[in-house]
């Protein structure tokens, strides 16, 4: 029988679990096609739930061999079994605590969804967040059921790992005990032919911890950076948050087939191999930075996520928003704070603002879902982190530290909620946060419009906030918006250092007196709130702030706004870029007192997708080809304007000596790459071709290849690169992505089609699929080719992938989320592609929900 239409789950329907678990013992008899899982679970009635309820255990794709309650086998008619649950009526259960035992059989080799226990290149591994454990055995698979686990693995694989501390092991078996109560989504098991790169860490209270990164033989030399990042993360969490690690071992396993970036399973993190493995020859500076940030993120979850978890999946931002905020702080401390902040805001705008502006907009804490996997979004993660940044700004650093200490004290071992989180801040600081709580429940990006006046030495800012309607939320209430402001004198001196204005009403004015002249305001310093700032201003004022602002974020923002103004006029009025912009950028390029990483960011033009959104916000229907052409023209104009200084800049940023991934060296390489991209417009790629030949590291080799392709060359180099790296999966992913993402707009669909016919296009591997199909979607002008060829190609592949891997398919369908920005012809083409996906027989619940929401029909 076919499923009825998938049912939504509502936050308001939450009820506590009927039974709690005191202890779990699992035995795995591993076999690729017929793994047996024996479970022994100690249950007791939950005193906080209604008594006399049936025992309902989640389970999917399991073959039940047998089950028993209190030592007596369940007979036919004593339980009911469906595709998703095993239910035992209360009448069959003893009063008080009891033991449930079951034996099930599962088929890891047939598990292509990569949820639960599956196989990747001959090794067994698991992914249980959010609801993968129910594909392993019958269990109350919900985060508010926490228990200690004992695991025995029986297999002839040489390495057998699970959560917690190692116990007995011998020929063909190993046992693991995790003393910390955890929800099932943090369960992990790995078995394979693996080798470890090892190190150790001593906690500040003197406990030694053995660290291991487990990889396939041959990759052990690519783990140094990840190990180093792990040790720095452990130290940082002790120093900054006072949090120590709590087991004897900490293991990380690198897996090639993985739907996500990485997973924080207790004591046994599982990582997509691209976020572990790195060597100078194969990894770029961006890879190194991602590895550092993701290792830190998953490690920090040990406290924010594992020791304190979420009561239910609606509270996902409780662990993710906070942990993203913590990893951003960490990266800022390890690298440059201003540069990190700019990068984070670029990401936020590119992913979260885009989401918040379209059919997929939802609150940081959603109130309903059909498939929870579809809510691992930029809003929950990145906007969730921004909300914590605002809280910290409002209560101050000391208030934040006090609140976090209270959070760890009060909730250690709990499955908590956003209400618990806010209560901790209220109790620690005495501040009423009821209005602030709207950040968790209201979707949409607030727009803050600013006007000002100056009279008798008093400067007044008038702020107005408005949040647009989003799906299911037509009307919004005013939010608490911290607006960090500084004022500059016309001579460039700062007359008012940064102060935080708290905008709580729909409209509010703030006055600054005692000023001798009308100041130039620097508003939303440090991007103090995730809002769109709307203020009419002049090119001269932007150039002034780019030159004089003491706040590095707003200094960069001024240049960014200038570039957007120029590009918008080039697209809509066919205007040529004016000297104000070109001269301002020239000053940045030549200013050796500025951090090279900052200069690289300031010289980089806004992306085509960013420009499409900017034009759409201004009421203009964006034409992706016109944006692409304008951006190319502006790049050329900038290159010509800077022609005298580019060769010098390119040489000055060349660091002698062997490659080092540190942020200072990476910053120089980033600026050098920016100079190279401009130089290529002047020398037809000669310098880039030379750099490609001479490069001794992936950052420079791949950078040169990308530049060559962007100026219509590089075909020969593509062949050289492929032959050199043929046997390295992660590098070949880059080779694929570069081609689909940089192909000339009219050729993008054909180029991508050819790539999908390449023998190395292993489409069942999520990284490879994302490289090729995701790469095409990144190529804005190519993806939106007026013929619709790219839309059709992407739709074909989503339809093909869905039965294999619903999670990755659903996530990739978001490439269509901006469709309402475009003209009627493109909208009709995208609608056709989406409707074709929606009409596919047997489409997964994941993809059905996403496509329905994008079309606006769910
Ligand atoms: Zn996380």
CA–centroid distance, residue 568 to ligand 1 (Å): 37
List the structure tokens of 616.
């759409």
Residue with tokens 């994941």, as numbered in its chain: 846
In angstroms, the Cα distances linking 555 to 135, 344, 544, 562 are 51, 16, 9, 11
Q: Which residues pair with 511 in a beta bridge?
A: 460
CA–centroid distance, residue 745 to ligand 1 (Å): 35
Q: E strands of 208-363, at which residues?
A: 208-215, 249-255, 262-263, 268-272, 309-310
Question: With 90 as the cut, is the pLDDT of residue 702 above it?
Answer: yes
Burial class (CB in 10 A: 0-12, 13-18, 19+), 199: middle
CA–centroid distance, residue 698 to ligand 1 (Å): 28
User: What is the side-by-side strand order in the sheet with 458-466?
Assistant: 507-512, 458-466, 447-455, 532-534
Average pLDDT over residues 799-810: 98
Cβ-Cβ contacts under 8 Å for 619 (sequence gap 6 or more): none
CA–centroid distance, residue 323 to ligand 1 (Å): 6
Categorise residue 61: left if φ over 0, alpha if ψ from -120 to 50, beta otherwise. Answer: left
Q: Is the dihedral of CA 670, 612, 735, 344 positive or negative?
A: positive
CA–centroid distance, residue 693 to ligand 1 (Å): 39
CA–centroid distance, residue 297 to ligand 1 (Å): 6
CA–centroid distance, residue 287 to ligand 1 (Å): 18
**Which three-class secondary structure state does DSSP give residue 322?**
helix
CA–centroid distance, residue 666 to ligand 1 (Å): 26
Cβ-Cβ contacts under 8 Å for 504 (sequence gap 6 or more): 435, 478, 479, 480, 481
CA–centroid distance, residue 316 to ligand 1 (Å): 9
In angstroms, the Cα distances linking 849 to 4, 785, 812 are 14, 27, 13
Q: Is the dihedral of CA 299, 303, 306, 309 positive or negative?
A: negative
CA–centroid distance, residue 161 to ligand 1 (Å): 21
Task: Give residue 740's pLDDT band: very low, low, confident or very high (50, 70, 90).
Answer: very high
Question: Taking a C-beta distance cutoff of 8 angstroms, is the pair 195, 144 a contact?
Answer: no
Question: Taking a C-beta distance cutoff of 8 angstroms, is the pair 631, 567 a contact?
Answer: yes
In percent, the amount of the chain with pLDDT more than 90 equals 98
List the structure tokens of 455.
């009279």
Q: What is the pLDDT of residue 5?
A: 63
List the structure tokens of 343.
């990068």
CA–centroid distance, residue 595 to ligand 1 (Å): 30
CA–centroid distance, residue 277 to ligand 1 (Å): 19
Average pLDDT over residues 599-624: 97
Asked if residue 377 has a cis previous peptide bond (ω within 30° of 0), the answer is no
Distance in angstroms (rounded) separating the CA atoms of residues 461 and 481: 15
Q: What is the pLDDT of residue 289?
A: 98
Q: E strands of 216-329, at which residues?
A: 249-255, 262-263, 268-272, 309-310
Q: Is the dihedral of CA 716, 720, 726, 731 positive or negative?
A: negative
Question: With 90 as the cut, is the pLDDT of residue 813 above it?
Answer: yes
Distance in angstroms (rounded) separating the CA atoms of residues 261 and 385: 18
CA–centroid distance, residue 583 to ligand 1 (Å): 43
Q: What is the pLDDT of residue 1?
A: 38
Residues in the chain: 858
pLDDT tens per residue across span 38-70: 999 999 999 999 999 999 999 999 999 999 999
CA–centroid distance, residue 302 to ligand 1 (Å): 10
Question: With 80 as the cut, is the pLDDT of residue 6 above it?
Answer: no
Cβ-Cβ contacts under 8 Å for 235 (sequence gap 6 or more): 201
Instruction: Find how far residue 712's CA is from the centre of its chain.
Output: 32
Distance in angstroms (rounded) separating the CA atoms of residues 546 and 319: 37
Q: Is the dihedral of CA 432, 435, 440, 441 positive or negative?
A: positive
CB-facing half-sphere around the CA of 626: CA atoms within 13 A: 17
Question: Taking a C-beta distance cutoff of 8 angstroms, is the pair 166, 135 a contact?
Answer: no
684: DSSP letter: T
**Residue among 289, 298, 355, 849 flagged as catalytic:** 298
Q: What is the pLDDT of residue 3?
A: 46
Question: Taking a C-beta distance cutoff of 8 angstroms, is the pair 363, 440 a contact?
Answer: yes
Instruction: Find how far residue 479's CA is from the centre of its chain.
Output: 25
Q: What is the pLDDT of residue 7?
A: 85
Distance in angstroms (rounded) separating the CA atoms of residues 754 and 16: 53
Helix (H) or strand (E) holding 569: helix 552-573
Question: With 70 as the cut, is the pLDDT of residue 532 above it?
Answer: yes
Helix (H) or strand (E) holding 343: helix 337-347
**244 annotated active-site:** no
User: What is the side-by-side strand order in the sheet with 208-215?
Assistant: 195-202, 208-215, 249-255, 268-272, 262-263
Q: Which residues pair with 42 in a beta bridge?
A: 23, 99
CA–centroid distance, residue 192 to ligand 1 (Å): 25
Q: E strands of 715-781, at which residues?
A: none
CA–centroid distance, residue 17 to ligand 1 (Å): 25
Q: What angle do CA 422, 428, 434 make, to 5 degrees?
A: 35
Average pLDDT over residues 136-164: 98
pLDDT tens per residue across span 474-489: 999 999 999 999 999 9
Distance in angstroms (rounded) separating the CA atoms of residues 775 and 758: 15
Distance in angstroms (rounded) separating the CA atoms of residues 794 and 749: 9
CA–centroid distance, residue 215 to ligand 1 (Å): 22
CA–centroid distance, residue 326 to ligand 1 (Å): 11
pLDDT tens per residue across span 100-129: 999 999 999 999 999 999 999 999 999 999
Residue with tokens 């690289």, as numbered in its chain: 600
CB-facing half-sphere around the CA of 580: CA atoms within 13 A: 16
Distance in angstroms (rounded) separating the CA atoms of residues 744 and 124: 41
Q: What is the pLDDT of residue 2?
A: 39
CB atoms within 10 A of CB 331: 23
List the structure tokens of 841.
């027989």
Burial class (CB in 10 A: 0-12, 13-18, 19+), 76: exposed
CA–centroid distance, residue 298 to ligand 1 (Å): 6
Question: Taking a C-beta distance cutoff of 8 angstroms, is the pair 602, 558 a contact?
Answer: no
Average pLDDT, the chain: 97
φ, ψ for residue 691, nearest 5 deg: -60, -40
**Which three-class secondary structure state does DSSP give residue 154?**
strand
List the structure tokens of 63.
């073959």
User: pTM here?
Assistant: 0.98
Q: Is the dihedral of CA 704, 709, 713, 718 positive or negative?
A: positive
Helix (H) or strand (E) holding 588: helix 579-590
Nearest Cα to Cα of residue 173 among 154, 189, 191: 154
In angstroms, the Cα distances linking 493 to 364, 415, 483, 542, 554 are 39, 50, 21, 16, 15
Categorise residue 819: left if φ over 0, alpha if ψ from -120 to 50, beta otherwise. Answer: alpha
CA–centroid distance, residue 56 to ligand 1 (Å): 28
In angstroms, the Cα distances linking 857 to 280, 342, 834 are 48, 36, 12
308: DSSP letter: B
Average pLDDT over residues 402-412: 98
């Amino acid at each position: 029988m076919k499923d009825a239409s998938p049912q939504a789950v509502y936050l308001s329907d939450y009820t506590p679990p009927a039974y709690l678990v005191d202890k779990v013992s699992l035995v795995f008899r591993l076999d690729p096609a017929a793994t047996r899982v024996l479970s022994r679970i100690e249950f007791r009635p939950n005193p906080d739930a209604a008594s006399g309820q049936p025992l309902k255990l989640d389970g999917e794709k399991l073959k039940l061999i047998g089950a028993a309650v209190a030592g007596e086998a369940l007979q036919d008619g004593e339980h009911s079994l469906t595709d998703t649950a095993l239910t035992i009526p209360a009448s069959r259960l003893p009063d008080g605590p009891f033991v449930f035992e079951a034996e099930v059989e599962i088929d890891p080799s047939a598990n292509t969804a990569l949820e639960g226990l599956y196989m990747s290149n001959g090794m067994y591994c698991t992914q249980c967040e959010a609801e993968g454990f129910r594909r392993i055995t019958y269990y109350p698979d919900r985060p508010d059921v926490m228990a200690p686990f004992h695991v025995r693995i029986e297999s002839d694989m040489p390495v057998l790992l699970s959560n917690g501390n190692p116990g007995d092991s011998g020929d063909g078996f190993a046992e693991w005990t995790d003393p910390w109560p955890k929800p099932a989504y943090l369960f992990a098991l790995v078995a394979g032919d693996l080798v470890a790169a090892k190190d150790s860490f001593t906690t500040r209270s003197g406990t030694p911890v053995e660290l291991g990164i487990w990889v396939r033989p041959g990759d052990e030399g690519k783990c140094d950076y990840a190990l180093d990042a792990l040790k720095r993360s452990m130290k940082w969490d002790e120093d900054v948050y006072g949090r120590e690690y709590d087991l004897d071992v900490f293991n990380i396993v690198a897996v090639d087939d993985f739907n996500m970036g990485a997973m924080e399973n207790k004591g046994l993190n599982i990582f997509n191999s691209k976020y572990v493995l790195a060597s100078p020859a194969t990894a770029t500076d961006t890879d190194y930075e991602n590895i550092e940030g993701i290792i830190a993120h998953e490690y920090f979850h040990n406290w924010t996520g594992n020791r304190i978890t979420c009561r239910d999946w609606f509270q996902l931002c409780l662990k993710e928003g906070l942990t993203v905020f913590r990893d951003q702080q960490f990266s800022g401390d390890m690298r440059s704070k201003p540069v990190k902040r700019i990068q984070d805001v670029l990401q936020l705008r590119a992913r979260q603002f885009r989401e918040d502006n379209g059919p997929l907009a939802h609150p940081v804490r959603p109130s309903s879902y059909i498939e929870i996997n579809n809510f691992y979004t930029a809003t929950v993660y990145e906007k969730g982190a921004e909300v914590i940044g605002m809280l910290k700004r409002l209560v101050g650093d000391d208030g934040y530290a006090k609140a976090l200490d209270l959070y760890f004290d009060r909730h250690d071992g709990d499955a908590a909620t956003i209400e618990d989180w806010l209560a901790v801040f209220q109790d620690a600081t005495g501040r009423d946060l009821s209005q602030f709580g709207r950040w968790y429940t209201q979707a949409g990006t607030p727009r803050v419009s600013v006007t000002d006046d100056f009279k008798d030495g008093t400067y007044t800012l008038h702020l107005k906030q408005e949040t647009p309607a989003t799906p299911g939320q037509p009307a919004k209430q005013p939010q608490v918006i911290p607006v960090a402001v500084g004022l500059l004198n016309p001579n460039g001196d700062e007359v008012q250092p940064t102060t935080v204005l708290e905008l709580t009403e729909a409209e509010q004015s703030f006055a600054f007196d005692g000023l001798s002249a009308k100041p130039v305001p620097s508003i939303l310093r440090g991007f103090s709130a995730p809002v769109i700032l709307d203020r009419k201003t002049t090119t001269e004022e932007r150039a002034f702030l780019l030159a004089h602002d003491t706040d590095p974020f707003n200094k960069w923002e001024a240049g960014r706004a200038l570039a957007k103004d120029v590009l918008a006029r080039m697209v809509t009025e066919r205007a040529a870029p004016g000297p104000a912009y070109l001269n301002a950028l020239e000053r940045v390029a030549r200013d050796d007192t500025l951090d090279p990483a900052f200069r690289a960011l300031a010289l980089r033009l806004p992306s085509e997708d960013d420009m499409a959104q900017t034009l759409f916000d201004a009421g203009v229907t964006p034409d992706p080809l016109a944006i692409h052409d304008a951006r190319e023209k502006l790049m050329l104009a900038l290159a010509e304007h800077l022609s005298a200084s580019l060769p010098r800049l390119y040489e000055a940023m060349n660091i002698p000596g062997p490659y080092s991934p540190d942020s200072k060296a990476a910053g120089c390489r980033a600026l050098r790459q920016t100079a190279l991209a401009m130089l290529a417009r002047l020398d037809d790629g000669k310098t880039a071709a030379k750099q490609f030949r001479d490069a001794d590291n992936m950052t420079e080799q791949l950078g040169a290849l990308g530049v060559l392709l962007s100026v219509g060359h590089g075909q020969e180099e593509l062949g050289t690169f492929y032959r050199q790296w043929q046997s390295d999966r992660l590098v070949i992913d880059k080779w694929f992505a570069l081609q689909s993402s940089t192909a000339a707009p009219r050729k993008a669909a054909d180029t991508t089609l050819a790539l999908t016919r390449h023998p190395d296009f292993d489409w069942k591997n999520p990284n490879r699929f994302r490289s090729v199909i995701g790469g095409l979607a990144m190529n804005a002008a190519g993806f939106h080719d007026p013929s619709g060829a790219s839309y059709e190609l992407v739709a074909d592949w989503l339809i093909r992938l869905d039965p294999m891997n619903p999670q990755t398919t659903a996530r990739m369908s978001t490439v269509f989320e901006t469709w309402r920005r475009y003209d009627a012809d493109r909208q009709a083409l995208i609608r056709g592609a989406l409707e074709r996906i929606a009409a596919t027989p047997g489409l997964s619940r994941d993809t059905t929900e996403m496509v329905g929401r994008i079309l606006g029909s769910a």
